[in-house]
Structure 1
């Protein structure tokens, strides 16, 4: 286990509970139980070796594709927007398949590149990325689909694909989708509305505070030490999902936001350390190569989403509906991100084992994947 990752996860979960306590006090008990479950899932899943995650990759990815395929037909929306069907509900169980699909894509691409290598395999890998991205895009969920595509590109780079090949690939895909952008925005006008609102944010705030303006107000109320979890002290906006950083900033101030950023930074440096240590392992086995890809992919899955969420809260990006990993209220994201942390734990332990010469035996061959 990586102590840095444990500290980062505990910090993020605690800050999330603080934010929920201020914005939705009735939900703090539920959120606290889910946070403990998420931490337990990380500790249990971290006991697996990377070869287990790599073998599970095709099955997990295939299952998430099946769930994404079901969303347009039996998916449910929210009270605010029934048109955006992003959740599946079976009795009392309600979850967001796109959150699971991020992890499925990480496991699948890591498994694929570990078995097949990176030479002349871009068509198959690109197909996996585009298929997953398109299924998320039709929900519609533009923010998550962009993150999904970016995640696939990062995984390619982590696997060792040349940057020139990646650049050419991105350019070709961009040229292909440009003619379809107009029809997509016409079909989903709420996306265009969000983009327009973001461009005209200053004029809107002259009339009255919008969602981002209220978040900025609450962050400013927090000051340096914060106001504590008392949501009744002001006319408080109280966001516990996508803009929960406003609640965190209100309750814990600049110190709490700094702790939030520090926790994500711990995740970044731990994953980069895994990649650095993996590069020193000789010979480079498929499992070690896969462990390195898994660590970088899981890290970007968490921190990339956090970056987008915080940029939305800062007013730099339009509102996307992307939750803040391990902090926002919502079990689908929290559970998936907790498994992603377990993947980094597992990869770190494996590369350390290989470097220390304490491997328990020869690396078992990975099952063949379909190209």
Structure 2
């Protein structure tokens, strides 16, 4: 297993536990149990070869689409604008299908481009991205929609699709979507309300009292450099254990803890890009190795892209989106999906490393190393 990824995952999970303990102490036992399950899942699945993930990609993607469609009929939620984002079958069986749809799209496009190559049947790949994105958009969940679509474009680039082809696809999709944009915004007014509220907060720091972002900034300021610890008395912060968990971490561990989270995400970026860089040295590049390289890049962006959006919201650059901080926020669906993404990266890195030029049987790491 990749040491950098192990360090990154453990750091994020540990700081996430501190953040949950700060915001909602009663949830610590439940969150700690889920962390152990997530770590075990990463360890077990990381032992698989990339071809196993690629073989399961299409069934997993179709199943994820079925779950996304099911959400539109029996989904629960409705915090804003009547959105349906979760499936709840009673007891502990409650999850958010869009979290697994992102992972399914990574594996499906990696499998598709590994078999077809980057220059053929781009319409099919585009329809895979559009179908997944559209189902998430209809929930509605605009923040996750943007992440899913961006993930698909990044995967195209990672597979070797030309910039000109990607540009033409983006232009065509934009022209097609424009006539429907006003209808969608009219049907989901909360989106414009959030954008307007975000713009007003930049003109007047407190247009109608302290906003959620104001409260998050207050907690991070109170944390200082080294933090006050999870047991220190603090004010209530809405979503302090989920979307705004970075503020809880900042309060408890200070600037040092926030910097550690950013460092952990940097390790993930470095690991994902290493797989692509190593794969570029291998000739011939087999379909499995090509797929492994795409999977590693996609899994990396799936984690770090979402982290970027969450942190941008926390500092006030983006309006509130409801996107959790990967491996740090409380939430089992996100935790499980990102843990599998880590396993995918471990598997891909090991496979690409084993085929680097100059490797001999004596220097090739054993499976799982």
When normalised by structure 2's length, the TM-score is 0.95
1:90-105 alignment, distance < 5 Å: 90-92=89-91, 93-105=93-105
Q: Which residue of 2 aligns with 1:137?
A: 137
The DSSP-based 3-state class of the residue aligned with 2:355 is helix
1:118-137 alignment, distance < 5 Å: 118-137=118-137
In the alignment, the residues of structure 1 paired with residue 181 and residue 161 of structure 2 have an alpha-carbon distance, to the nearest angstrom, of 28
Q: Over aligned residues, Cα RMSD in angstroms?
A: 1.3
Change (3 A) 1:206 1:183: closer
The offset of 1:281, in angstroms, is: 1.4
The offset of 1:90, in angstroms, is: 1.1
Q: Which residue of 1 aligns with 2:88?
A: 89
Q: Which residue of 2 aligns with 1:242?
A: 243
In the alignment, the residues of structure 1 paired with residue 19 and residue 267 of structure 2 have an alpha-carbon distance, to the nearest angstrom, of 21
Change (3 A) 1:358 1:173: farther
In the alignment, the residues of structure 2 paired with residue 320 and residue 167 of structure 1 have an alpha-carbon distance, to the nearest angstrom, of 26
The offset of 1:207, in angstroms, is: 3.9
The offset of 1:354, in angstroms, is: 1.5
TM-superposition CA deviations, 1:206-251 (whole Å, max 9, x none):
54110111001111000000010025x2324260001100000000
Change (3 A) 1:139 1:358: farther
When normalised by structure 1's length, the TM-score is 0.94
Contact map agreement 1:76 1:82 (CA 8 A) in 2: no
1:53 aligns with 2:53: yes
1:228 aligns with 2:255: no
In the alignment, the residues of structure 1 paired with residue 227 and residue 282 of structure 2 have an alpha-carbon distance, to the nearest angstrom, of 46
In the alignment, the residues of structure 1 paired with residue 108 and residue 25 of structure 2 have an alpha-carbon distance, to the nearest angstrom, of 39
Aligned length: 357
The DSSP-based 3-state class of the residue aligned with 1:86 is strand
1:212-223 alignment, distance < 5 Å: 212-223=213-224
The offset of 1:180, in angstroms, is: 1.1
The offset of 1:167, in angstroms, is: 1.1
Q: Which residue of 1 aligns with 2:252?
A: 251
The offset of 1:82, in angstroms, is: 7.4
In the alignment, the residues of structure 2 paired with residue 240 and residue 35 of structure 1 have an alpha-carbon distance, to the nearest angstrom, of 14
Change (3 A) 1:164 1:200: same
1:1-371 alignment, distance < 5 Å: 1-77=1-77, 80-81=79-80, 83-92=82-91, 93-202=93-202, 203=204, 205-230=206-231, 233-237=233-237, 239-355=240-356, 356-358=359-361
In the alignment, the residues of structure 2 paired with residue 266 and residue 144 of structure 1 have an alpha-carbon distance, to the nearest angstrom, of 23
Contact map agreement 2:85 2:140 (CA 8 A) in 1: yes
The DSSP-based 3-state class of the residue aligned with 1:305 is helix
The DSSP-based 3-state class of the residue aligned with 1:200 is helix
- Structure 1 spans left out of the alignment, 5+ residues: 360-371
